[in-house]
Structures are given as C-alpha cells and as structure tokens.
C-alpha cells in the first residue's frame, strides 16, 4: 500500500473541511425551507400552535449559523486558503447569514399568524400571500440547488426570477390598501397579512443574495449592485 504523504493528508483533510461546510449549509437551508413552509401554513390557518413551533425552531437555526460561521473563521485561520477555497468559505459565511435572515422573516410571518389567531382571520390577502409564497419558495429551492452544485448559471437564472416576486408583491400591497379603505374595520387584520407579504418579499431578496454569493464563489466576480441587464 502506498504511503500517503503529509501534504496529501493535509489537503485531503482540508477538502473534507470544505465538504463539511457545504453540507452543513445545505442542511441549514433545508431547515429554513421548512420554517417558511410551516410559517405560511400557520398564517393561512391562523394556527397559533404551529406558529409557536416556528418560533421555537428558530433558535436551532440561529445556532447553526454560529456553528458554521465559526467553522469558517477557524478554517481560514488554520488552512490559510487562497483564491477559490477562500472565496468558497467566504461565500458560505455570507450565505448562512442570509439563511438566518430568512429564518428571521419566517419568524415574523409566524408572529403575524399568532396575531390573526387572536384577532380573527383577515377577510383578504390569502390568495396573494399564497401566490407570492410559492414564488419565494421556488426561488429558495432553486438557489439552494444552485449552491449544492456551485452552479453560477443556475444562480443567475434564479436571480432573474426575483423581479416577478417584487412585481407581485407591489400589486398585492396596492390591492390590500384599496380593500382597507373600503372596509376600515378590517385594517388591523389585513395589516397582519401585509407585514407577512413584506417578509416574503425580503425572503426573496435574501435568496437573491445567496445567488450572488454563488456567482462570487464560482466566477470570483462580485456582482452585487450591478443591474441585471448589465451583467453579461
């Protein structure tokens, strides 16, 4: 049997570290997806029990962020990676921050669900919320998928879809504001749905950020703040 040199051993260990970072990030992504799903279920059914579960599970996601981010810092300090490896670690560190923020927004939606369970269902807004949530969930799934394959092309395609979510969000807000004027007694309940829509729109933004981190990782280009049309 061939003897593995120290260099090979170190590099093998380093690759294992990187793989571990990646799989942990994807596991955290899965947890966040579930949070979003549960928060929306709780909102639609004004289910305060499910909403409380979402608030409880958020702690676990916060913990994951700290663990992964700490592993990133340690890996940089120990392995002193350059170029692609460094970019990958930085991209992981940035992505888990965005995932944690998505968890925060899911938590906000859960809080609105609790509000609705206390004040009664909103007379409007559920169709819009479900529609936007579907778009956001698809974006999140596609972006995690692009992350798992480090696929910059897929990441760019996913980013482009965020525009539609913004348009849908704005039209839903307009509609609900008009409705509140017609039925002022519903304002407080409709506001719960409005804040939930806002949270969904933000989740779309964070998913877009993760796509940007993937492009940065793969291409070494920082494409934040570049207008989509000017990217190619």
Residues lying near a second copy in the complex (CB under 8 A) are found at 59, 62-63, 65-66, 69-70, 73, 76-77, 80, 82-83, 86-87, 90, 93-94, 97, 177, 180-182, 184-185, 187-188, 191, 198, 222, 224-225
Beta carbons within 8 Å of 121's beta carbon, 6+ residues apart? 46, 189
Six token digits for residue 83: 């170029």
Least Å distance between CB 1 and a second copy? Answer: 34
HSE-up of residue 68 (Cα within 13 Å, Cβ side):
31
Least distance in Å: CB of 169 to a second copy?
A: 12
Give the pair of three-digit tokens for residue 66.
């700290």
Question: Judged by CB, which is closer to a second copy: 127, or 226?
Answer: 226
| Those residues with Cβ within 8 angstroms of residue 120's Cβ, 6 or more apart along the chain or in another chain | 46, 189
DSSP state of 45: T
The 10 Å Cβ neighbour count of residue 91 is: 24
- Shortest distance (Å) from residue 62 CB to a second copy: 4
Q: Which is nearer to a second copy, 3 or 227 (CB)?
A: 227
CB of 185 to a second copy, least distance (A): 7
* Residue closer to a second copy (CB basis): 136 or 180: 180
- Residue 99, H or E segment: helix 83-119
Q: How far is the CB of 10 from a second copy (least distance, A)?
A: 15
Cβ distance to a second copy smaller for residue 148 or 188 = 188
Inter-CA distances, 169 with 49, 131, 136, 195, Å: 27, 10, 11, 11
Comparison of 55 and 86: residue with beta carbon closer to a second copy? 86
We find the least distance from the C-beta atom of residue 141 to a second copy, in angstroms, to be 24
DSSP 5: P
**Closer Cβ to a second copy, 71 or 154, answer by number:** 71
| Helix orientation angle between 126-148 and 6-44, rounded to the nearest 10 degrees | 170
Token digits of residue 137: 């969930």
């Amino acid at each position: 049997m061939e003897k593995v040199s120290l260099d090979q051993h170190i590099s093998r260990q380093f690759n294992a570290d990187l793989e571990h970072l990646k799989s942990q990030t994807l596991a955290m992504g899965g947890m966040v997806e579930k949070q979003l799903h549960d928060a929306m279920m709780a909102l639609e059914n004004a289910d305060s029990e499910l909403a409380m579960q979402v608030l409880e599970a958020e702690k676990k996601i916060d913990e994951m962020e700290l663990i992964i981010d700490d592993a990133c810092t340690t890996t940089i300090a120990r392995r002193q990676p350059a170029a692609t490896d460094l970019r990958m670690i930085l991209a992981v560190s940035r992505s888990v921050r965005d995932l944690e923020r998505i968890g925060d927004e899911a938590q906000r939606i859960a809080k609105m669900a609790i509000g609705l369970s206390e004040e009664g269902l909103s007379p409007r807004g559920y169709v819009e919320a479900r529609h936007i949530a579907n778009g956001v969930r698809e974006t999140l799934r596609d972006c995690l998928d692009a992350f798992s394959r480090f696929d910059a092309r897929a990441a760019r395609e996913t980013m482009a879809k965020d525009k539609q979510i913004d348009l849908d969000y704005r039209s839903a807000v307009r509609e609900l504001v008009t409705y509140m004027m017609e039925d002022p007694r519903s304002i407080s309940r409709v506001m719960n749905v409005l804040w939930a829509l806002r949270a969904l729109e933000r989740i779309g933004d964070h998913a877009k950020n993760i796509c940007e981190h993937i492009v940065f990782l793969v291409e070494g280009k920082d494409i934040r703040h570049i207008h989509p049309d000017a990217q190619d």
